[in-house]
Amino acid sequence: MNHFAFRDNELYCEEVPVQKIAEQVGTPLYIYSHATLKRHFHAFADAFKDVDNLICFSAKANTNLAVLKLFSNLGGGLDIVSGGELYRGLKAGFSPEKIVYSGVGKRIDEIDYALETGILMFNIESLEELDSINKRAGVLKKRANVSIRVNPDVDARTHPYISTGMKKNKFGINTEFAIKGYKAAMGLKNVKIVGIDCHIGSQITEIKPFEDALKSLKLLIKDLEAYGINIKYLDMGGGLGITYNDEVPPQPAEYARAIKKSLGRTKLKLILEPGRVIVGNAGALVTKVLYRKSTGVKEFIIVDAGMNDLVRPTLYKAFHAIKPVVLSEEGEIVADIVGPICESGDFLALDRYVQRVHQGDLIAVMSAGAYGFVMSSNYCSRLKIPEVMVKENKFHVTRKRQKYEDLTKGEKIPPYL
């Protein structure tokens, strides 16, 4: 069931008219469907229920506390890439024993925070990082659980900016050097080898890249066993895509069948890190039409949301469906939907067939639940916008819109000025 749907020509989120939310909260704003978030999490978890697993939501996709709390309540774990995400995860109620720390650039203070918290494991991205974690664990009199992120040189066939599994990418340790890394870890007294990790990219719409990566990992695990290195956790990362336009990505059940078939009988505990596939289509960005403009060769619809609110179209030329919040019979036009930022790259859609709209009308930018608010900024001193969660016939503001005074918090003019 699609929880963003039209009733009597008006867009609803669950049982609440989107226009009603916009009128009370203001625009622009993000809206998330509680039912969709819950359904997507269960779809993923149920697909793997017959194998020992831990579903660690990828926090970088959406760190709204209400969203995180929902997944924590459902028994999920968390995949983090910063100390800030660890802080948010703990605030949302995640058990430290269900938190996995990934990322190529862990600072010393972040490593210490994670060690003192007692997270499940660090996914190691370089030998220097391994050495740093060992040293900090020694200083803190801790023992760090580690896995090594192996880069299997698999082409995920996705946008180059979100491809992470090839030799030319900055992530992980190449397969041929992974054994060297594991041997080095064996000689360190403050770390304990517990797993192996792999993440090949994001918005992947085919099964084969995952199968190729798992095949490579299985061979490596077998080689490690010969050296007396026994792996407990197999972290397959995330990356499963969603439908933004005309993509037909595999469903979680199909993805799970392929992974379980390739994995075979094993005693390994499978860790999965879905992000976009759970939250992407559970959210929408709602924005108001400010002005219309025609240059004779181009039609522009100028709205109050900009690239600082949703940067994906600018950054990746990503497609997001554009829907009117209220349907009319005025027909369609081809237009650029652009924001108020003083950049030519400030757009939400280019040359798009959209319903003819007027000043004050509302537009919904769909599939904005992942990499939306989390990538937003205060560029042009614009206020960060509110986030709202809808459950059945009620909605709750889970993040308030910033105020102007928030823009200068923490700043100080020196006395010589």
Facing residues of 233 across strands?
Answer: 195, 269
Residue with the bigger pLDDT between 155 and 123: it is: 123
Evaluate whether residue 413 is within a structural domain: no
pLDDT band, residue 162 (cuts 50/70/90): very low
pLDDT of amino acid 262:
84
Give me the domain span that covers residue 141.
Answer: 34-277
What residue type is 308 in one-letter code? N
Same domain flag for 291 and 148? no
pLDDT band, residue 250 (cuts 50/70/90): confident
In the predicted model, is pLDDT for residue 156 greater than 90?
no
In the predicted model, is pLDDT for residue 201 greater than 80?
no
Domain boundary among 245, 277, 309: 277
Please give the structure tokens belonging to residue 10: 């008006």
Same domain flag for 22 and 41? no
pLDDT band, residue 172 (cuts 50/70/90): low
Reply yes or no on whether 342 is catalytic.
yes
Other CB atoms within 10 A of residue 287 CB: 28
Same domain flag for 8 and 42? no
pLDDT of amino acid 218:
85
Same domain flag for 19 and 41? no
pTM: 0.93
Q: What angle do CA 28, 29, 31 make, to 5 degrees?
A: 145
Q: 14 near 3, Cβ under 8 Å? A: yes
pLDDT of amino acid 195:
94
Instruction: Mean pLDDT check: name the lowest of 34-38, 150-154, 206-210, 293-297.
Output: 150-154
CA distances from residue 319 to 13, 316, 325, 350, 370 in whole angstroms, order as listed: 21, 9, 18, 9, 13
SS (H, E, C) the chain: CCCEEEECCEEEECCEEHHHHHHHHCCCEEEEEHHHHHHHHHHHHHHCCCCCEEEEEEHHHCCCHHHHHHHHHCCCEEEECCHHHHHHHHHCCCCHHHEEECCCCCCHHHHHHHHHHCCCEEEECCHHHHHHHHHHHHHCCCCEEEEEEEECCCCCCCCHHHECCCCCCCCCEEHHHHHHHHHHHHCCCCEEEEEEECCCECCECCCHHHHHHHHHHHHHHHHHHHCCCCCCEEECCCCECCCCCCCCCCCHHHHHHHHHHHHCCCCCEEEECCCHHHHHHHEEEEEEEEEEEECCCCEEEEECCCCCCCCHHHHHCCCCCEEECECCCCCEEEEEEECCCCCCCCEEEEEEEEECCCCCCEEEECCCCCCCHHHCCCHHHCCCCCEEEEECCEEEEEECCCCHHHHHCCCCCCCCC
- CA 62/CA 71 separation, integer angstroms: 11
Same domain flag for 219 and 287? no
Same domain flag for 271 and 286? no
Q: First-to-last CA distance in the chain?
A: 59
Same domain flag for 63 and 123? yes
- CA 98/CA 80 separation, integer angstroms: 11
Q: Which residues fall within 8 angstroms of residue 143, CB to CB, at 6 or more apart? A: 137, 190, 191, 192
Same domain flag for 171 and 199? yes
pLDDT of amino acid 259:
87
Is the torsion defined by CA of 349, 351, 355, 360 positive or negative? positive
Evaluate whether residue 417 is within a structural domain: no
In the predicted model, is pLDDT for residue 124 greater than 50?
yes
Same domain flag for 192 and 219? yes
Evaluate whether residue 387 is within a structural domain: yes
Facing residues of 355 across strands?
Answer: 332
In the predicted model, is pLDDT for residue 123 greater than 90?
yes
Among 241, 236, 319, which residue's Cα sits nearest to residue 279?
241
pLDDT band, residue 155 (cuts 50/70/90): low
What residue type is 211 in one-letter code? E
pLDDT, tens digit, 9 for 90 and up, residues 95-119: 999 999 999 999 999 999 999 999 9
pLDDT of amino acid 45:
95
Say if residue 28 is preceded by a cis peptide, omega within 30 of 0: yes
Evaluate whether residue 414 is within a structural domain: no
Evaluate whether residue 69 is within a structural domain: yes
Domain boundary among 277, 303, 338: 277
Other CB atoms within 10 A of residue 132 CB: 16
What residue type is 275 in one-letter code? G
Stretch 70-94: mean pLDDT, rounded? 98
pLDDT, tens digit, 9 for 90 and up, residues 342-397: 999 999 999 999 999 999 999 999 999 999 999 999 999 999 999 999 999 999 99
Domain boundary among 214, 249, 277: 277
pLDDT of amino acid 153:
67
- CA 260/CA 294 separation, integer angstroms: 55
Residue with the bigger pLDDT between 208 and 62: it is: 62
CATH of the domain at 263: 3.20.20.10
- Marked catalytic residue, from 13, 56, 198, 342: 342
Same domain flag for 164 and 264? yes
Phi, psi of 208 (to 5 degrees): -55, -45
CATH of the domain at 307: 2.40.37.10
Q: 382 near 407, Cβ under 8 Å? A: no
Q: What angle do CA 5, 10, 16 make, to 5 degrees?
A: 70
Same domain flag for 247 and 395? no
Instruction: Note the maximum CA span of the chain.
Output: 72
Percentage of the chain beyond pLDDT 90 is 76
Number of domains into which the chain is organized: 2
Evaluate whether residue 114 is within a structural domain: yes
Residue with the bigger pLDDT between 163 and 232: it is: 232
Evaluate whether residue 394 is within a structural domain: yes
Evaluate whether residue 294 is within a structural domain: yes
Same domain flag for 206 and 286? no
